[in-house]
Amino acid sequence: MELELGLAPPNDAGSCGKRRSAEAFGVKKPTLPLFLRDDDDDGDHGNGEDDTGDARDCEISMGNKRKRLVGWPPVKSAHRPRSNSHVKVKMEGVPIGRKVDLSRHASYHQLHHTLRLMFPSTSHHGDPYAVTYEDVDGDWVLVGDVPWEDFVRSAKRLKILLV
């Protein structure tokens, strides 16, 4: 297993032949993700939708998937692989729950924005809050730790807690 920390993320998905683009991504963000890349994982790419499995196993085979960019490739959400991405959202202290369609958001920022619109009491009081989600294992996890697309697939419902 090769630990790689550099200015540009490795952008050759090792399983796609020997495509070694020397051209850097040219990512502008100052901090970059740390990639774990397993070069022996060639046979493991399979169908992008299949390895929802465990979030932990996903991290290792992440190098085999195309890096997730917002809005790329340019396909409408209707054309993306369909998943039931409506999740219930409940906020602590608010009796009525809402539903949000995760597939219509492209990032955590957008989700937070929508949640603020749905539960205006958060921004009104200015109280800090935490958004948590129930994942496929039934655990309640803080939102934001895993790549967005993985979150969309594994989140079953959301709960907003007042901190």
Partner 1 sequence: RKQKDNDTASLSTPSSPDALPAAAASPRAPPARASRRVASPGPATARAAPMGRGGARDGAAAAPPWHSLPDEVLEHAFSFLPAAADRGAAAAVCHGWLGAERRSRRRLAVANCYAAAPRDAVDRFPSVRAAEVKGKPHFADFGLVPPAWGAEAAPWVAAAADGWPLLEELSFKRMVVTDECLEMIASSFRNFQVLRLVSCEGFSTAGLAAITEGCRNLRELDLQENYIEDCSSHWLSYFPESFTSLETLNFSCLEGEVNFAVLERLVSRCRNLKTLKLNNAIPLDKVASLLRKAPQLVELGTGKFSAEYHSDLFAKLEAAFAGCKSLRRLSGAWDAVPDYLPAFYCVCEGLTSLNLSYATVRGPELIKFISRCKNLQQLWVMDLIEDHGLAVVAGSCSKLQELRVFPSDPFGAGQVLLTERGLVDVSASCPMLESVLYFCGQMTNEALITIAKNRPNFTCFRLCILEPRTPDYVTRESLDAGFSAIVESCKGLRRLSVSGLLTDLVFKSIGANGNCLEMLSIAFAGNSDLGLHYILSGCKTLKKLEIRDCPFGNKPLLANAAKLETMRSLWMSSCSLTLGACRQLAEKMPRLTVEIMNDPGRTCPVESLPDDSPVETLYVYRTIAGPRSDTPDYVQIV
| Binding positions for partner 1, rule: CB under 8 A | 11, 13, 15-16, 19, 21, 23, 25-26, 28, 45-49, 64-66, 68-81, 101, 104-107, 109-110, 112-114, 117, 149
Nearer to partner 1, 45 or 90 (CB): 45
Instruction: Report in angstroms how near the CB of residue 92 gets to partner 1 at its nearest.
Output: 21
DSSP string, 41-52: GGGG---TTTTT
- Reduced to 3 states (helix: H, G, I; strand: E, B; else coil), residue 142 is strand
- Residues 82, 71: Cα–Cα separation, whole Å: 16
Instruction: Report in angstroms how near the CB of residue 112 gets to partner 1 at its nearest.
Output: 7
Instruction: Report in angstroms how near the CB of residue 84 gets to partner 1 at its nearest.
Output: 10
Nearer to partner 1, 117 or 162 (CB): 117
Using the structure block, give the residue that is written with the tokens 């090792």: 14
Instruction: Report in angstroms how near the CB of residue 106 gets to partner 1 at its nearest.
Output: 3
Nearer to partner 1, 120 or 138 (CB): 120
Nearer to partner 1, 92 or 101 (CB): 101
Instruction: Answer left, alpha or beta for residue 17, where phi above 0 means left and psi between -120 and 50 means alpha.
Output: left
- 31-61 as b/e, with b when 16 or more CB fall inside 10 Å? eeeebebeeebeeebeeeeebeeebeebeeb
Using the structure block, give the residue that is written with the tokens 């205006």: 120
